């Protein structure tokens, strides 16, 4: 697994894990946030399996397996306690980390992540796509027109005029690797999913949602708040879609700061780490 990590870890700072969703790469989704949180946190930004430079020969495709791999990566860095932010698919992974490793995960931020969706929601028409194949074709665009369609789903006000050559370059760089495996990740999220089988996490949790999210409707945010119950707060940001972190960066970072910095805790870490290291998690 590939991960961006501090060149020098400050033991007095708390640790913050940023988990990306489907998109360009981890740094593309979180790059603007780093300047807000680097002074106060030791920040770790991994590439999930089949994104960026992270891969595996193992057959598992569930968010639970992704969570286990990320946790092992953090252990290799010597991180014993952490808070985390998960965007979209990254929220599925982050939620699973909080459920599986409650002793390690302190605070949780979940952004536009449909953890409480159910398999029947697709049949019942909750989503604006007909089936998983259509969802995969949008989330993993292979043509400029499909990328424009994704932009319309992700943003309330997408950029209207983008040359096809730019979109094609974006697709070549970010959307052509591990297509089969990424489709399997999408399928694994929905397969046999029922709220009754989703564990409840007990960490203090902030849920952030774009009011006009067309990928995971805001109804799923209310479901998630109800499912977790205590210690949970839902913030719905107006005039924002699924890419709320990009579309409303000031509001997004303000909510994160208020939540994550409210009562920072010092965590244990190794004293030195390079900018990034590659680990084989088997």
Lowest-confidence pick of 23-32, 40-49, 142-151, 245-254: 23-32
Percent residues over pLDDT 90 in the chain = 68
pTM of the model: 0.89
Low-confidence winner among 57-71, 102-116, 166-180, 228-242 (lowest mean pLDDT): 166-180
Check pLDDT > 70 for residue 192.
yes
- Name the residue among 46, 48, 41 with its Cα closest to residue 77: 46
CA nearest neighbour of 46 among 64, 25, 60, 32? 25
Q: How many Cα atoms within 13 Å fall on the side-chain side of residue 100?
A: 16
Residue count of the chain: 282
Domain formed by 2-119+194-278, architecture: 3-Layer(aba) Sandwich (3.40)
pLDDT in tens, 36-73: 898 999 999 999 999 988 999 999 999 999 999 999 99
Sheet of 232-237: strand order equals 232-237, 204-210, 105-111, 82-87, 15-19, 42-46, 2-4, 276-278
Pairwise CA distance, residues 77 & 3, whole Å = 10
Mean pLDDT for the stretch of residues 15-35? 85
Instruction: Assign residue 231 a region (left: φ > 0; alpha: ψ between -120 and 50; beta: otherwise).
Output: left
Q: How sure is the predictor about 272, in pLDDT bands with cuts at 50, 70 and 90?
A: very low
C-alpha 111/C-alpha 91 separation (Å) is 7
Residue 105: C-alpha distances to residues 7, 71, 90, 206 (Å): 22, 10, 15, 14
Task: Write the pLDDT tens digit of every residue in 156-172.
Answer: 988 877 889 988 988 88
Report d(CA 113, CA 208) in Å as an integer.
9
Per-residue DSSP letters for 55-90?
A: --SS---SHHHHHHHHHHHHHHTT--SEEEEEETHH
- Domain boundaries, given as residue ranges, for the chain: 2-119+194-278
Q: What b-and-e string marks burial along 73-105, b requiring 16 or more CB atoms within 10 Å of the CB?
A: bbebbebebbbbbbbbbbbbbbbbbbbebeebb
Over the chain, what is the mean pLDDT?
89
pLDDT on residue 24: 67
């Amino acid at each position: 697994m590939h991960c961006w990590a501090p060149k020098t870890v400050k033991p007095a700072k708390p640790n913050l894990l940023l988990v990306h969703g489907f998109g360009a790469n981890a740094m593309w989704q979180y790059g603007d946030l780093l300047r807000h949180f680097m002074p106060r946190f030791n920040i770790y930004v991994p590439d999930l399996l089949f994104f960026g430079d992270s891969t595996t020969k193992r057959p598992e495709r569930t968010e639970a397996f992704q969570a286990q791999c990320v946790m092992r990566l953090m252990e290799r860095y010597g991180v014993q306690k952490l808070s985390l932010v998960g965007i979209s698919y990254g929220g599925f992974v982050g939620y699973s980390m909080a459920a599986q490793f409650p002793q390690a995960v302190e605070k949780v931020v979940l952004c536009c992540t449909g953890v409480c969706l159910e398999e029947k929601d697709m049949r019942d028409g909750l989503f604006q796509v007909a089936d998983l194949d259509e969802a995969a074709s949008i989330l993993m665009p292979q043509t400029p027109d499909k990328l424009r369609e994704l932009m319309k789903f992700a943003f309330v006000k997408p950029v209207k005029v983008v040359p096809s050559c730019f979109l094609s370059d974006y697709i070549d760089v970010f959307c052509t690797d591990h297509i089969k495996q990424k489709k399997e990740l999408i399928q694994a999220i929905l397969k046999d999913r029922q709220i009754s089988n989703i564990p409840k996490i007990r960490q203090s949790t902030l849920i952030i949602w774009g009011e006009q999210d067309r990928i995971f409707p805001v109804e799923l945010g209310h479901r998630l708040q109800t499912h977790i119950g205590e210690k949970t707060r839902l913030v719905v940001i107006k005039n924002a879609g699924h890419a709320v972190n990009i579309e409303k960066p000031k509001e997004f970072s303000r909510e994160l700061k208020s939540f994550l910095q409210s009562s920072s805790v010092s965590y244990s870490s190794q004293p030195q780490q390079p900018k990034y290291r590659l680990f084989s998690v088997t």
